[in-house]
Structure 1
Amino acid sequence: MKKLLSILTISLVFSCHNQAQTNPKQQAAIDAEPVVVPLIDGKARAYFASGCFWCVEAVFESVKGVEESISGYAGGHTENPTYEASNTGRTGHAEAVEIIYDPEVVSFATLVDVYFGSQDPTQVNGQGPDHGSQYRSIIFYQNDEQKKIIEDKKATLAKELDATIAAEVYPFQKFWVGEDYHQNYERLHPDQGYIRNVSIPRLNKFKAKFPELLKDSGKH
């Protein structure tokens, strides 16, 4: 994601994407009953995929009511996915984040607004310079109420933009926590090239668009 890809590699990624999205195991994940994650110490969990998880983690951690954002993988059909395996496009997983939040402070509906408002909602299989099924946009629901919230907001946005919204809507099954070195990456590596040129501009664009949602410090 953070390096230039050759034409051959890009072709392979898209070929793998087609395979990942059409095999029976992936379809079973899409058709499964959602798993409900219970509150822990009054905190709820929500799950989103929207391009590079470094970017998404930073965005959500700037929002009032969000306690923590964890980078990992979700949406696929394989066990114990890794960064390297996910990047092949064959696992079905996308880079995703687990959002731990206080539902008394921020609602799931607002988190969906944050999700759509912090990306290009029409870009298929990626965000910005990151391309491939592992960077596709997915919103995960845990019950019918969440599913309706997502679908209603997606439909409204499609009408506003007069465009097809790329985000897929999946039943939540399992979140696989990513490798340690991916966690809090934007905060820990502010001078890294990708962070300076992609993550921070994306975060700042979100902050300018939704100042009312930011933590008092404006930091994460």
Structure 2
Amino acid sequence: MRTFVLAGGCFWCLDAAYRSLRGVTAVVSGYVGGAVPAPSYELVCTGTTGHAEAVAVTFDETVIPEDVILDAFFTMHDPRQLNRQGNDIGTQYRSAMFPADQEQRDLFEAAKARAGEWWDGDLVTTMEPLGEFYPAEEYHQDFFAKNPTQGYCLAVAVPKVNKVRARFSSYVRA
């Protein structure tokens, strides 16, 4: 099992897209990259803590390759948007990767280079030290499954999940 910590906009979207893939065994929404210990959602939303909304994706690399996990990350969000994804604006919505070690950093850099070939324009995705990952409040965990008719989920999460499911159809859960 491997775990990657990735940030690309609202964690609800990343969570929903990753949960749709075979081999993903856990997704935890949380906060990473900031200076305030154990921040709350409300505090992170102020944009003053330095944290990003992120997911810790745990997967079985014998079922789903690392490259698929990382390429899905660059598929489900626009890595050219600085400190935002669509109408979600602020540093907490930045595109960032948080490698746990040099091996992950190398994998993440290779994935970013691959993504640079599909996207027009410069990618703003940062590589940041992992530091402490704080799980978000329980109501944020598996939010899409708990709230499938919520407006944000329908308008923002569903298209991202659909993009990932279409591109990585051989890894979609039955």
Smaller-chain TM-score bracket = over 0.9
Between the aligned partners of 1:163 and 1:206, the Cα distance in structure 2 is: 21
Residue 66 of structure 2 corresponds to residue 108 of structure 1: yes
Alignment of 1:204-219 (within 5 A): 204-215=162-173, 217=174
Change (3 A) 1:66 1:56: same
| Residue 160 of structure 1, CA deviation | 4.3
Task: State the superposition RMSD in angstroms.
Answer: 1.4
Q: Name the TM-score, length of structure 2 as normaliser.
A: 0.93
**In the alignment, does 2:61 pair up with 1:122?**
no
Name the larger-Rg structure. 1
Q: What SS class does the counterpart of residue 123 from structure 1 fall into? A: coil
- Write the distance in 2 (CA, Å) between the matches of 1:204 and 1:110: 15
Please give the alpha-carbon distance, in whole angstroms, between the structure 1 residues aligned to 2:14 and 2:119.
22
Deviation at 1:64, TM superposition (A): 1.6
Instruction: Give distance in 1, aligned partners of 2:77 and 2:120.
Output: 16
- Asked if the contact 1:46–1:108 (Cα under 8 Å) also holds between the matched residues in 2, the reply is no
| Distance change >3 Å, CA 110–CA 205, structure 1 → 2 | closer
Residue identity in the other structure for 1:115: F
153-162 vs 82-91, which moves further: 153-162
State how far apart, in whole Å, the 2-side matches of 1:114 and 1:160 are: 12
Aligned structure 1 segments of 4 or more residues deviating by more than 2 angstroms: 106-110, 155-162
Change over 3 Å in CA distance of 1:100–1:164 after alignment to 2: same
Residue identity over aligned pairs, in percent, reads 38
In structure 1, stretches of 5+ residues that fail to align are: 1-42
Deviation track 1:85-122 (CA, whole Å, cap 9, x = no partner) reads 10111111000111121122223332111111111121
| Higher RCO (CA 8 Å, separation ≥ 6 residues) | 2
Could you say which residue in structure 2 is the equivalent of 1:52? 10
Q: For the residues of structure 1 that align with 2:70 and 2:44, how far apart are their CA atoms?
A: 24
Please name the residue that 2:43 is paired with. Answer: 85
**Which amino acid letter does the alignment assign opposite residue 206 of structure 1?**
V
Residue 89 of structure 1 aligns with an amino acid whose one-letter code is G
* Amino acid corresponding to residue 84 of structure 2 in structure 1: G
- Displacement of 1:198 in angstroms is 1.0
Letter in 2 for 1:79: P
Structure 2 unaligned blocks of 5 or more:
none
2:146 corresponds, among 182, 188, 208, to 188
Rounded to whole Å, the distance in 2 between the matches of 1:207 and 1:160 is 17
TM-score after normalising by structure 1: 0.75
Give the count of matched residue pairs: 174
Instruction: Tell me, in whole angstroms, the C-alpha distance in 2 between the residues paired with 1:195 and 1:160.
Output: 26
1:142 is matched with 100
